[in-house]
Amino acid sequence: MLSILPTPIGNLGDLSHRVEAAFKGCELVVAEDTRRTEQLLKHLQLRKKTVSFQEHNEKQRLPMILQALREGREVVMVTDAGTPSISDPGYRLIRACLENKIPYTVLPGPSAVTTALVGSGLPPVPFCFGGFFPNSGSKRRSEIKTALARGMTSVYFESPHRLLASLKDFMLLMPQGHLCVARELSKKFEEYCHGTPETLIEYFSQKTIQGEITLVFHPCPFSSKEHKDHSENIPILRNLA
């Protein structure tokens, strides 16, 4: 049996009892980054055989993992944080299990996508998740245009090093749209920053931008009252210390 395990996106208190039990009962851990997973196993006071499984070695590692499953070994898969297969490795292994009639299960748990969507306060249904924004400015602007044309809430991951560049693209393409920058979710310095691109640029230009970032946005324009309220109330900060 293959078990797909979601791991905390920041706060280790979010590790479920089911995930911990799966770790304890497994014989092999398939991990996106074995170093990150070893830290998690150390937290659980466990020692397990781990093997890396990421975009550069998925094809080479698949036969070995499938063989272990055919032999009846309990195998679990984890990524660095959150639920595998959501902008992380996992999809190819699940497809391979389907094609080879190997049973698997997916445990529910942490995901930055749904956490940021709910925390954004933007319409949650329908929504579209687009993964990471492209590195290229022209491709990113094209992606934003596509997302805006859908007319619904969109969720994307972004690097802290490119956040200001992305916000400037939003300033160009949806100057009065709804934006939420969800940063360091579930961690000590978690914050949800709401506003127009202009107000968010002003806020983030005055600080060092660090940590994992999820962008949630909606093309519907702010009203004048909302614009005023959000300009005076950035960020909404929740200190979890």
Q: What is the pLDDT of residue 234?
A: 56
Q: What is the pLDDT of residue 239?
A: 44
Other beta carbons within 10 angstroms of residue 136's beta carbon come to 10
Look up the CATH number of domain 112-237.
Answer: 3.30.950.10
Q: What is the pLDDT of residue 58?
A: 86
Burial 61-86 (b: 16+ CB within 10 A, else e): bbeebbebbeeeeebbbbbbbbbbbb
Tell me whether domains 2-106 and 112-237 share a fold: no
pLDDT score of 240 more than 50: no
At which residue do the structure tokens 């993992």 appear? 65
At which residue do the structure tokens 């190819």 appear? 92
Amino acid in position 146: T
Look up the CATH number of domain 2-106.
Answer: 3.40.1010.10
pLDDT score of 224 more than 80: no
| Of 240, 119, 116, residue with least CA distance to 190 | 240
Q: Tens digits of per-residue pLDDT, 150-200?
A: 999 999 999 999 999 999 999 999 999 989 999 999 998 899 999 999 999
Q: Are strands 177-183 and 127-132 parallel, antiparallel or unpaired?
A: unpaired
Q: Where are the domains of the chain?
A: 2-106, 112-237
Structural contact between residues 129 and 104, judged by C-beta atoms closer than 8 angstroms: no
